[in-house]
Amino acid sequence: MSRAAANTPLIQQYLDIKARHPDSILFFRVGDFYEMFFEDAEEGSRLLGITLTSRNNGGAANVPLAGVPVKAAGEYLRRLVAALRVDGVWVAEPALDGPRALELSRARRPLQD
């Protein structure tokens, strides 16, 4: 069975986006939380001081997971962007085009004077 076939649809969607932005951390909206998975979860939990846990990925192995509430995401994004050497944070939000459509935006550092 291929890796793609073993993933849940949510994890596959995350991996598809991550493949387009491999050097960035991806904040992926899941309900009332922004989640980070795999290496992003490990790095994000370390940089933000949040709990690293895991999620069941269907028949595949558990996946590292770290998340923050949507209501507090602005502060966590500011901290994460400031902690990174580059402005590599992408945010995936549900789009109005359907349940699997997402809109991507990039969180950037403020311009320095």
Q: How does residue 45 score in pLDDT terms, banded at 50, 70 and 90?
A: very high
Is the pLDDT reported for residue 110 higher than 60? no
| Bridge-based pairing state of the strands 25-30 and 89-94 | parallel
CATH number, domain at 49?
Answer: 3.40.1170.10
**Mean pLDDT value of segment 68-96:** 79
Is residue 39 scored above 90 in pLDDT? yes
pLDDT computed for residue 3 by the predictor: 47
Q: Does the pLDDT value for residue 90 go beyond 80?
A: no
CA distances (Å), 8 to each of 3, 37, 55, in order?
10, 13, 11
Question: What backbone torsions phi and psi does residue 18 show, to the nearest 5 degrees?
Answer: -60, -35
Q: How high is the pLDDT of residue 108?
A: 57
Residue numbers of the domain that contains 69 = 3-107
Residue 112 lies in a domain: no
Can you give the pLDDT at residue 44?
92
Number of domains in the chain: 1
Residue 11 has pLDDT above 60, yes or no: yes
Distance CA(76)–CA(1), nearest Å, equals 37
pLDDT band at 9; cut points 50, 70, 90 = confident
DSSP structure class, residue 104 = E
